[in-house]
Structure 1
């Protein structure tokens, strides 16, 4: 999928490895990106179903875990 980039993979990996609900600010801090960049990327990930929101916090979805595990390709998203 041409809209996905390295930041998206790093966001998904952080959410998966932490097992936590994280805000865009916390994600940005841990990945050393700006909060605005993370917010734009996480909106796209949410629209595609790879992450889910709980208020202002985000966690990886089952679809996101499937993508990381290689059970779902970017083209299938």
Structure 2
């Protein structure tokens, strides 16, 4: 059994992985849906915080949006599998 070791960038928050994991399990999500789903798991986040994190993750290439829905990218999936080193992304535009 191998365990994926994720290399988190210094610009990432602890909730970024939770957002990416949620997006990995669904096709596309609106920020409000992400907030509500995480809230159902006991992770209370404000909508403006989720919006900010999604913008940062998009700037890093880990998620993509079309209109108001977000999806995880191949790079985001690679990060979750421990195959992409997020430390190689220097402080995406906030």
RMSD of Structure 2 on Structure 1 (CA)? 0.9
Structure 2 CA distance for aligned equivalents of residues 66 and 9 of structure 1: 12
Provide structure 2 residue ranges, at least 5 long, that are not aligned to the other structure: 1-8, 40-44, 90-94
TM-score, normalising length: structure 1: 0.93
Report the CA distance between 1:71 and its aligned residue: 0.4
**Aligned pairs, how many?**
76
Q: Deviations over 1:2-26 (max 9, x none)?
A: 11011100000000022x2000000
Q: Which runs of 4+ in 1 moved over 6 A?
A: none
Mapping of 1:1-77 within 5 angstroms?
1-18=9-26, 20-32=27-39, 33-77=45-89
TM-score norm. by structure 2 comes to 0.77
Higher relative contact order (CA 8 A, sep 6+): 2
Residue 35 of structure 1, CA deviation: 0.8
- Higher helix proportion (structure 1 or 2): 1
